[in-house]
């Protein structure tokens, strides 16, 4: 049975097919970093504490880094992780910079298509629209499959877009983790999913369970859990969309 534990922000610990994966480790104490530039709510990041000790969080078989923004792979994680742990990155470029941080076993999602009986497939996304999306750069998601597990799609830092639609069509995931929070700069549209994006994801995959991460942990996320939960209740989707607290584990 698969278990997904939301640590904080996009950081997840996933037990899947007898392996344990750490996704997007962002492990600094509350308030370690400056707020993101050109954003509202100028408070330090992360905005909340970790819900568990770091040594417990990093006891995993492999780490998946969907992209290299600070809130997905930070200095504290880089210092804490064993340097010989398998790190799976989205591209050769990201792999190179992760190696430069001292990691000796870095692969790309394209290279690691299976681990034991678990298959990993890379998906793409859009980290914002237009010019902001271009500045935010390349992002990825990943689909996990295993004969004894539900199909799991971690969408990564993406808004609702054709890439997400295509990933759902191709892989028919039964569990989908999306990054909500509606992160935003002072100008332009959100760079992670807002309520409407999450609703469109549900419309595309009405039989899947959607788990919303990336909530209430970095300064530029404007969508709160309470606001999202109200929206989910209004749409009668409380069975379909789950908004876990930091530290909460969900089993499927």
Which residues contact Zn ion by CB under 5 A?
71, 157
Smallest distance, Å, CB 230 to Zn ion? 23
Distance between CA 132 and CA 145 in Å, rounded? 32
**Toward Zn ion, which CB reaches closer, 71 or 74?**
71
**Toward Zn ion, which CB reaches closer, 151 or 220?**
220
**Toward Zn ion, which CB reaches closer, 17 or 244?**
244
What DSSP element (H or E) covers 213? strand 209-213
**Parallel/antiparallel/unpaired status of strands 11-16 and 19-23:** antiparallel
Smallest distance, Å, CB 188 to Zn ion? 15
**Toward Zn ion, which CB reaches closer, 71 or 216?**
71
Tell me if residue 183 falls in helix, strand or coil: strand
Smallest distance, Å, CB 239 to Zn ion? 27
Distance between CA 178 and CA 141 in Å, rounded? 10
- Total Cβ atoms within 10 A of residue 138: 16
- Residue that is written with structure tokens 């910079």 in the block: 97
- Residue that is written with structure tokens 């992002």 in the block: 139
**Toward Zn ion, which CB reaches closer, 10 or 210?**
10
Smallest distance, Å, CB 38 to Zn ion? 15
**Parallel/antiparallel/unpaired status of strands 62-64 and 140-145:** unpaired
Name the token pair of 234.
């209004």
**Toward Zn ion, which CB reaches closer, 118 or 198?**
198
Closest CA to 76 of 9, 127, 137, 129: 9
Smallest distance, Å, CB 72 to Zn ion? 6
Smallest distance, Å, CB 117 to Zn ion? 30
Distance between CA 195 and CA 180 in Å, rounded? 8
């Amino acid at each position: 049975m698969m278990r997904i534990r939301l640590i904080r922000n996009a950081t997840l610990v996933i037990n899947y097919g007898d392996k344990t994966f750490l996704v997007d480790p962002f492990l600094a104490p509350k308030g370690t970093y400056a707020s993101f530039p050109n954003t509202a709510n100028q408070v330090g990041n992360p905005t909340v504490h970790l819900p568990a000790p770091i040594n417990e969080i990093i006891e995993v078989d492999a780490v998946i880094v969907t992209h290299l923004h600070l809130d997905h792979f930070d200095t504290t994680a880089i210092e804490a992780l064993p340097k010989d742990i398998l790190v799976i990155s989205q591209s050769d470029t990201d792999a190179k910079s992760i190696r430069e941080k001292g990691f000796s076993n870095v692969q790309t999602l394209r290279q690691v298509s299976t681990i034991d009986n678990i298959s990993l497939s890379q998906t793409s996304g859009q980290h914002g629209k237009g010019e902001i999306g271009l500045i935010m750069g390349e992002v990825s998601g990943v689909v996990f499959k295993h004969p004894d597990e539900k199909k799991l799609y971690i969408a990564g830092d993406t808004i609702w877009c054709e890439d997400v639609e295509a990933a759902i069509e191709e892989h028919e995931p039964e569990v989908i983790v999306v990054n909500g929070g509606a992160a935003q700069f002072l100008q332009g549209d959100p760079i992670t999913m807002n309520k409407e994006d999450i609703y469109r994801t549900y419309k595309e995959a009405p039989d899947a369970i959607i788990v919303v991460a990336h909530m209430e942990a970095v300064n530029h996320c404007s969508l709160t859990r309470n606001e999202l939960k109200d929206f989910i209740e209004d749409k009668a989707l409380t069975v379909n969309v789950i908004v876990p607290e930091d530290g909460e584990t969900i089993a499927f």
